[in-house]
Amino acid sequence: MRRTLFLTPLYASLLLGLAACGGGGGDEPGPAGSVTLPSGARAGAATAGADLNSSNALQVGTSLAKALRGDATGGVTGPAAASRAKALSARQSGARGLPSPLLLARQALYSAGPKLPTQRAQASTATISSLPCPGGGRMTVTTDDMDGNGVLSSGDSVLTNFSACATGPGEPPLNGRFDLSLNAVTVSPTGSALNLDATATFTDFAVQGEGTLSGSVRLWLVTEGLQERFRMSYQNARLTLPTGEVQQLQYDLYGSQTDAQLNLELSGAIGMGNQLYAASSTAVFMAGPDGVMRSGSSQLRDAAGDVLQLQAQTSGRYDLTLTNANGQFLWSSLGLGW
| Lowest mean pLDDT, pick from 74-83, 102-111, 251-260 | 74-83
Q: How far is CA 324 from CA 50, 133, 226, 307, 316, in A?
A: 13, 49, 43, 6, 27
| Lowest mean pLDDT, pick from 11-15, 66-70, 280-284, 333-337 | 11-15
Query: Is residue 244 over pLDDT 50?
Result: yes
Q: How confident is the model at residue 265 (pLDDT cuts 50, 70, 90)?
A: very high
Most trustworthy range by pLDDT among 19-28, 63-72, 230-239 = 230-239
Query: Is residue 83 over pLDDT 70?
Result: no
Instruction: Yes or no: say if 288 and 265 are a contact pair by the CB < 8 Å rule.
Output: no
Give me the percent of the chain exceeding a pLDDT of 70: 76
Is residue 41, in this structure, part of any structural domain at all? no
Q: How confident is the model at residue 7 (pLDDT cuts 50, 70, 90)?
A: very low
Q: How confident is the model at residue 28 (pLDDT cuts 50, 70, 90)?
A: low
Is residue 218, in this structure, part of any structural domain at all? yes
Bridge partner residues of 252 (DSSP): 233, 267
Domain carrying residue 316? 9-23+46-336
Q: What is the mean pLDDT of residues 270-291?
A: 93
Query: Is residue 24 over pLDDT 80?
Result: no
Give the residue among 96, 132, 93 at the shortest CA–CA distance from 317: 93
Is residue 30, in this structure, part of any structural domain at all? no
Q: How far is CA 316 from CA 87, 101, 323, in A?
A: 16, 24, 23
Give the residue among 65, 91, 88 at the shortest CA–CA distance from 311: 65
Is residue 40, in this structure, part of any structural domain at all? no
**DSSP conformation class of 114:** G
Query: Is residue 92 over pLDDT 50?
Result: no
What domain count does the chain have?
Answer: 1
Q: How confident is the model at residue 124 (pLDDT cuts 50, 70, 90)?
A: low
Q: How confident is the model at residue 125 (pLDDT cuts 50, 70, 90)?
A: low
Is residue 84, in this structure, part of any structural domain at all? yes
As a whole number, the mean pLDDT across the chain is: 79
More confident: 135 or 201: 201
Position 6 scores a pLDDT of 28
